[in-house]
Amino acid sequence: MSSAPLSNSESNFKIVKNDSFNNSMIEFAKMTILFAFSELKDNFYKMCEFVSLKFEEKYGGNWGSSIIKEGDSCFVYIDFCLTMKYKDYIIKINKLK
């Protein structure tokens, strides 16, 4: 993954909620997401896997990610995954590596 400056696509990001991410981590997230979207196209599983693995490499520990599109999400999990619908909500619970 190149560390080249982000393109104008960076302006497409809006922080909705931030718990403990510093500016460096936010920029790393943007770069990683842009790379995943440009190189892995519509394979959401591969995109989530890529983002999770890049964060594990850089920051250590176990990271999970999901991409929500049209009311659903895709994420990496091992063995345990539960999807439930409650009222108008889809709830997914997963165990990370």
- Residue spans per domain, the chain: 21-94
Tokens 């591969």 locate to: 46
Among 11-20, 44-53, 86-95, which is the least confidently predicted range? Answer: 86-95
Question: Tokens for 3?
Answer: 């560390």
Q: Parallel, antiparallel, or unpaired for β 81-86 and 72-75? A: unpaired
Question: What is d(CA 65, CA 69) in angstroms, rounded to the nearest whole number?
Answer: 13
pLDDT in tens, 23-60: 898 888 889 888 988 999 878 789 889 988 998 899 88
CB-based contact 83:92 (threshold 8 Å): yes
pTM of the model: 0.67
Cβ-based neighbours of 72, under 8 Å, separated by 6 or more: 90
Where are the extended beta strands (E) located within the chain? 66-69, 72-75, 81-86, 89-94
Per DSSP, 5 falls in state P
